[in-house]
Chain A
């Protein structure tokens, strides 16, 4: 994976496989504490303690088609390389939250990647999921964090059956996400 955003897709796909109904992705750039943090939280079936422990083992996967699951161990290694860490909290029946923290300015930190494109991809790829995307930007010297949140529930209610891949709807989603995130970064 060349971008942190791609890891977010990978984690979100895990959440989908865990039968999540709602998935909340958060990305926070904090230039005051020099930290980049990302998290994916779901209300899926969750995991027991033993499974959580095994997750950072590169040879563990719940998949049966292939024996190597690399997504989570790679993310963990990336975070730790950048003076950060990864944290998984999960309970059977209560969902899972995976968080990763990076030193923002670390020379080895992967680029965050294109967030609007990542969120748009997830949104249309899994219309059955209730998505919430939160982006927060804390400038280095002054002010409080600027937060952009996209909750797709009102959008879907308004669409009332019109496809998310209708061309005008794609334009709506794409420009909302692009402008919302750009606005927070201003």
Chain B
């Protein structure tokens, strides 16, 4: 990974992104929302969020944003992650370890196939 540090480098990044039209709208195709309340953090939400960032870097994805939210109220299933693709209904995942994050990224976000093993059924919410 090349080293970039100064604001000049950041300007260049922005210009490149403009050229490639990465800034088309404020809406991204995919939104990943990680629950970062106290139980989420204690269960490893930081490492989960970090893994999503690593994957965005690794796979060079320009249409994915990662955000956080407070408690989902599903403490025993933390870390909890919601994936929203285009206008589809959000899919809520539980016990999302960094390993599960990679599966969600590769199978669901890139492959279009929900990772059933980690899905929290609607009635549990």
Contact = CB atoms under 8 A, between A and B. Distances in A.
Contacts of A17: 70
20 contacts: A6-B46, A13-B38, A63-B71, A70-B38, A117-B46, A117-B50, A124-B53, A125-B66, A125-B67, A154-B7, A162-B13, A163-B65, A167-B57, A167-B62, A168-B4, A169-B10, A170-B53, A171-B1, A174-B53, A179-B5
Contact of B38 (A10, A154, A155, A179): A10
A1 to B, nearest CB: 6
* Chain B residues touching A, range: 35 or more
Interface string A165-186: 1111111101110010000000
B14 A155 contact: no
A168 B16 contact: yes
B66 A175 contact: no
Nearest to B42: A1
Interface of A: 1, 5-6, 9-10, 13, 17, 63, 65-66, 69-71, 117-118, 120-121, 124-126, 154-155, 158-163, 165-172, 174-176, 179
Q: Is the interface of A mostly helix, strand, loop or mixed?
A: helix
Quick one: which of B4, B22, B41, B64 has the most chain A CB within 10 A? B41
